[in-house]
Amino acid sequence: TRFLMRMRLTPDCSKMLISTSSGYLLILHDLDLTKSLEVGSYPILRARRTTSSSGVSPRNSLEVLTPEVPGERDRGNCITSLQLHPKGWATLLRCSSNTDDQEWTCVYEFQEGAPMRLVSPRCSLRLTHYIEEANVGRGYIKELCFSPDGRMISSPHGYGIRLLGFDKQCSELVDCLPKEASPLRVIRSLYSHNDVVLTTKFSPTHCQIASGCLSGRVSLYQPKF
The length of the chain, given as a count of residues: 225
Give SS3 for 71.
coil
Does position 28 have pLDDT exceeding 80, yes or no? yes
Provide the pLDDT for residue 49: 41
Q: What is the chain's mean pLDDT, rounded?
A: 84
If phi > 0 it is left, if psi is from -120 to 50 it is alpha, else beta; for residue 28 that is beta
Pairing of strands 182-183, 125-133: parallel
Provide the pLDDT for residue 69: 83
Residues 144-175 have pLDDT tens digits of 999 999 999 999 999 999 999 999 999 999 99
Taking CA atoms, 173 is separated from 96, 155, 177, in Å, by: 24, 17, 6
